[in-house]
Amino acid sequence: MNIRKLILQGEGTTLDFKKTISSNEKIAKSLVAFANNRGGQLLIGVADDGSIKGVKSEDEERYMILKSAHQYCRPAIEPEFEEIYIDSKLVLVATIPQSNTKPHYALDENKKWWVYFRVNDKSILASKIIIDVLKKDNTQSGQLITYTDQEKKLLQFLDKEGRITLKQFCKLTRSSHKQAQKILVSLILTGLIRPHSSEKEEYFSLLDVK
């Protein structure tokens, strides 16, 4: 593994830097976010700016991660570890595979379980639509052969406007909240559209639009 090249990529959908492990709840959030998406790697001993600090005790850091993965994640997650030395400093790499038992939940400080999903370099709270996608992704191929009028209207709108919210979609097609969610989930699973989560409101775009 070329750890320097990896660090130069910066934090993203499949990569997160941790200077040290200080909270089981916080690390569980990162673990489930990776498992619920495409998997990823935690680099322990690397600061947010990419500078290599090294870990003082790989055994202690490994124990914290495993405790988080087994006791603070539901279903439990099984990370794989690798120790890499750079300039006499030890970086612990924890690899979290993409899960086939989604969704995973993380326990927070208030003893509540939440689903998280990795978007860019953030582990975000998953919306109901994302949770539905995660559940169905394990059991369905999501192949859609023909489009309904509602789906056609959605795709035409996205082709012209670039993005749409759930509320806009309901208004556009005069669909119920539940029906609109079901259509969005189907189109996400087929790979036609993708969700974008933000601080304000989740929106959706065609897959090739960033």
| CATH number of the structural domain spanning residue 170 | 1.10.10.10
* Residue 194 vs residues 123, 129, 158: alpha-carbon distances, Å: 17, 11, 11
Tell me: do 77 and 176 sit in the same domain: no
CA distance between the termini of the chain: 29
Residues 154, 169: contact at Cβ < 8 Å? yes
Number of domains into which the chain is organized: 2
Same domain, 88 and 143: no
Domain region containing 15: 3-126
- 137 with 171, same domain: the answer is yes
Per DSSP bridges, beta strands 113-119 and 105-107 are: antiparallel
Looking at the structure, tell me whether residues 61 and 163 fall in a common domain. no
pLDDT at 56 over 50: yes
Which of 159, 188, 156 is closest to 173 using CA atoms?
156
* Same domain, yes or no: 109 and 164: no
Enumerate long-range contacts of 198-204, CB under 8 Å, 24 or more apart: 201/165, 201/167, 202/127, 202/129, 202/165, 202/166, 203/163, 203/164, 203/165, 204/158, 204/163, 204/164, 204/165, 204/166, 204/169
- Whether residues 147 and 184 share a domain: the answer is yes
Q: Does the pLDDT value for residue 173 go beyond 60?
A: yes
CA dihedral (96, 102, 105, 106) in degrees, to 10, reads 10
Q: Which of 68, 100, 126 is the last residue of a domain?
A: 126
Q: What is the DSSP letter of 120?
A: T
Does residue 29 surpass a pLDDT of 60? Answer: yes
Considering the domain architecture, whether residues 78 and 145 belong to the same structural domain is answered as no
Say yes or no: 88 and 19 in one domain.
yes
108, 126, 144 - which closes a domain: 126
Question: What are the tens digits of pLDDT across the range 103-158?
Answer: 999 999 999 999 999 888 889 888 888 898 888 876 655 454 467 889 999 999 99
Task: Compute φ and ψ for 53, nearest 5 degrees.
Answer: -100, -30
pLDDT of residue 138: 66
Examine the domain organization and report whether 41 and 102 are in the same domain: yes
Calculate what percentage of the chain has a pLDDT beyond 70. 93
Choosing from 126, 141, 167, the residue where a domain stops is 126
In this structure, the answer to whether residues 109 and 22 fall within a common structural domain is yes
Average pLDDT over every residue of 182-208: 83
CATH classification at residue 34: 3.30.950.30
Between 13 and 191, residue with greater pLDDT: 13
* Residues 17 and 105 grouped into a single domain: yes
Q: Let me know whether 114 and 31 are in one domain.
A: yes
